[in-house]
Amino acid sequence: MQSEQSRPVPRTVHPYLAGEMVIVIDCADTARSAAFWTAVLGYVTAGPSNGHYAALLPANGTGIEVLLQQVPDSKHGKNRVHIDLRTSDLAAETERVVSLGAARLTSEPLIEDGLQWHVCADPDGNEFCVLQPLA
């Protein structure tokens, strides 16, 4: 029997001009990262991890695949590309992702161009933002 976290998902790929777009996140432990990102995003694993890769898919089958890639080196410096989680309740969503294992890197929300956000990091130190449009 497959768990809720790992089950076949009817899938619609997220296209780009010449194929399918996938977001790849480097990590040290695919199982730990899969547990974190499936809980944060509401995704499911696409099947068992082969140890070096774990594919995560939207539970409803529509959206961008996230591929976790195990790498031997740790993260150094700031991410040049990151994920934004846009929400209508910054405080609640920030607390939710922190309760799932994220680290909040900003003590107060940053504010710019009609948005407010917190910078967070996943268990491997990869930065992502939780942001909300200002009223």
Kind of pairing, strands 115-121 and 103-104?
A: antiparallel
- The string of pLDDT tens digits covering residues 93-132 is 999 999 999 999 999 999 999 999 999 999 999 999 999 9
Per-residue pLDDT at 1 exceeds 60: no
For residues 58 and 103, membership in a common domain is answered with no
CATH number of the structural domain spanning residue 49: 3.30.720.120
pLDDT at 58 over 50: yes
Structural domain including 123 reads 83-133
Phi, psi of 17 (to 5 degrees): -45, -45
Are 62 and 97 in the same domain?
no
Measured on CA atoms in the order 55, 60, 118, 34, is the torsion positive or negative? negative
Say whether pLDDT at 4 is over 70: no
